Structure 1
Amino acid sequence: MNIISLVVWTLEKNCFIVYTALIVCFIGFTIFHKNRLDIHYRNVEIKEEKLARTGPKKKEREFPDDGDDDPELLLPAIPEDTPHIPYRPPRKSDEEILQKSREYYELMAKRRTVRCFSAEPIPQEVLDNIVKTAGTAPSGAHTEPWTFVVVQDPQIKEAIREIVEQEEELNYTQRMSRQWVTDLKPFATKPSKPYLSEAPALVLVFRQAYSWRSDGKKRMHYYSEISTAIAAGFLLAAIQYCGLVALTSTPLNANARLRDLLSRPANERLELLLPVGRPHKETTVPDLDRKPLEEIMLKI
């Protein structure tokens, strides 16, 4: 008798015992895993009760409190009793709106970044007005998280250029990827930045991460990055509207040194450095096309 025949004969003669053993194993297996599931759910309940007592341990608030829970010290960014006044801008017909939209598009479509400026000075009131225009931009909870530093002093401009060029030399040779440097070649950009001393004015846009209230407590600035970016857009539009040109430069890795040079506080970070002026009579710009409307607009 071979092994297979022996096994079959044994099962046939002892089928009751075999079936009983299988049933017992199944019951034992079920009870064992039921106990494990009960223990798991009890642990989950304990954790949920603990969270309910101590507060949720989920993702931290994007704008955390400063640790002071006293309601008497929680003040809004602007007075709570600020009156709301009627807002009635001049109403224009559809034809007027269409004409204005065309005129403004045609004006802004001519805006170009230039790297060669005329040394002609800019009237101070013009600089005042374009910065005031930037200051009309919307901001989170009306915190207005920006500082615009306008530099016209030749020595300070030269110091800014020296700092930026030192950092840019490292950026181009060590910090920036080869693809990044390659993408910039059509624009003829190099570590040398002569326009920083040649342009009649430099506008440095600082973002305030926070400020201080009159009682010495920190005043949080919400969405300071996007708010400052919108204000910079207003600034560029104002520069274009009054007939001047600018260069939107981002002084990579120069923030701390420029902040110290201009005596700006630690709560401010330099986001943009804009040389502003009239274009040099021999300035040139790349012959570029902008994306057509169908590539940037989705109609739903």
Structure 2
Amino acid sequence: MDVDELISSSKLLKHWPSLFITLALIWIVKRLFFKGNRVLKTYNLDEQVEEEVEHFADLGDELQPALEDKPHVPFVPGQNLNPNGAKRLYELMRGRRSIRSFSSHPKPDLSVIEDCIRAAGTAPSGAHTEPWTYCVVQEPELKRSIREIVEQEELVNYSQRMHPQWVTDLRPLQTNHVKEYLTEAPYLILIFKQTYGLSENGKRMRRHYYNEISTSIAAGILLCALQAAGLASLVTTPLNCGPALRNLLGRPVNEKLLILLPVGYPKDGCTVPDLARKNLSNIMVTF
């Protein structure tokens, strides 16, 4: 067999169009895949940040600080009103428990709730934006509407959305989609994070940096204040209920529900799981 016959009989040459197309497709797919990965790693901004960047990019030299540019003043340290204050705070907070059985009477005075929220408002926040709103609900019909929204979504959460392991982990806490405490507790405090600030005419005007972290810190201070006032509470984060509850309360679009907090006194005979907290050696590392 001469060279010409060998070449003409080669399977490689017979099928070269198909092989060429296959190799070309592989090359194109690889290029698209790696390009997509590079874009994802470099420009993986969430929608909120992208919108904010686009909004503020056009301002140019018009950018001004959100805070009034005042001279700094001398720092006045707080007074230690309680000897061994840290230890006394720990002794107070170690008795804090989440309860699911509230008494409707007696009802705490609203001024106590106001003082607790004032304390929460002292929390630090990114660029001092104070990105939180506390909605205090005490009207029975409104509490019933909140319960209906939450229970409707929680039924779907427990039966479909939540992983079976998640539902199993909640079993010792004896919790399910029925939320009687939402109508039993004299107060519901709905804590909203403000993702950005609004002007008086409803236009976006101010970025709220670290809004979820800031609001979460404030919520922790609120829990301490409620405990100091002798009130019980339950931290809940109703899955997929935020938009409906925001609309129910008529809150603006820049607010997103972070925590729903029933507050009041425990019902007689209220029980809680027999739980132990981690020791200091399990939560603190010194260097």
Q: TM-score range by the shorter chain?
A: 0.7 to 0.9
Query: Aligned partners of 1:188 and 1:60: how far apart in 2?
Result: 40
* Structure 2 residue corresponding to 1:76, chosen from 65, 82, 86: 65
1:243 and 2:230 correspond: yes
* Structure 2 residue corresponding to 1:284, chosen from 271, 284, 287: 271
Query: Aligned partners of 1:220 and 1:90: how far apart in 2?
Result: 30
Normalized against structure 1, the TM-score is what? 0.76
Show structure 1 runs of 5+ residues with no match.
1-56
Post-superposition offset of 1:212: 1.9
Question: Residue 165 of structure 1 contacts residue 192 of structure 1 at CA under 8 Å; is this kept in 2?
Answer: yes
1:101 paired residue number: 86
Post-superposition offset of 1:76: 1.1
1:141 paired residue number: 127
Post-superposition offset of 1:213: 3.7
Question: Residue 196 of structure 1 contacts residue 202 of structure 1 at CA under 8 Å; is this kept in 2?
Answer: yes
Question: Residue 118 of structure 1 contacts residue 198 of structure 1 at CA under 8 Å; is this kept in 2?
Answer: yes
Question: Residue 77 of structure 1 contacts residue 142 of structure 1 at CA under 8 Å; is this kept in 2?
Answer: no
Post-superposition offset of 1:64: 2.5
Change (3 A) 1:281 1:217: closer
Query: Aligned partners of 1:155 and 1:214: how far apart in 2?
Result: 30
The one-letter code of the counterpart of 1:225 is E
Query: Aligned partners of 2:204 and 2:90: how far apart in 1?
Result: 44
Query: Aligned partners of 1:100 and 1:134: how far apart in 2?
Result: 19
- 3-state SS of paired residue (1:273): strand
1:123 and 2:109 correspond: yes
Post-superposition offset of 1:211: 1.2
2:160 paired residue number: 174
The runs of at least 4 consecutive aligned structure 1 residues that moved more than 3 Å come to 57-63, 90-93, 213-217
Question: Residue 131 of structure 1 contacts residue 235 of structure 1 at CA under 8 Å; is this kept in 2?
Answer: yes
Q: Deviations over 1:163-184 (max 9, x none)?
A: 0000000000000000000000
Count of aligned pairs: 239
- 3-state SS of paired residue (1:277): strand
**Match runs of 1:1-300 below 5 Å:** 58-59=42-43, 64=53, 66=55, 67-72=57-62, 74-80=63-69, 82-90=70-78, 96=83, 99-120=84-105, 121-213=107-199, 216-300=203-287
Query: Aligned partners of 1:263 and 1:92: how far apart in 2?
Result: 42
Change (3 A) 1:70 1:297: same
Post-superposition offset of 1:59: 3.8
Query: Aligned partners of 1:91 and 1:135: how far apart in 2?
Result: 19
Query: Aligned partners of 1:192 and 1:243: how far apart in 2?
Result: 26
- 3-state SS of paired residue (2:96): coil
Query: Aligned partners of 1:214 and 1:186: how far apart in 2?
Result: 48
Query: Aligned partners of 1:200 and 1:91: how far apart in 2?
Result: 34
Post-superposition offset of 1:217: 4.5
Query: Aligned partners of 2:128 and 2:53: how far apart in 1?
Result: 18
**Identical counterparts, % of pairs:** 50
Normalized against structure 2, the TM-score is what? 0.79
Change (3 A) 1:244 1:92: closer
Question: Residue 196 of structure 2 contacts residue 204 of structure 2 at CA under 8 Å; is this kept in 1?
Answer: no
2:10 paired residue number: none
Post-superposition offset of 1:65: 5.3
Query: Aligned partners of 1:191 and 1:253: how far apart in 2?
Result: 13
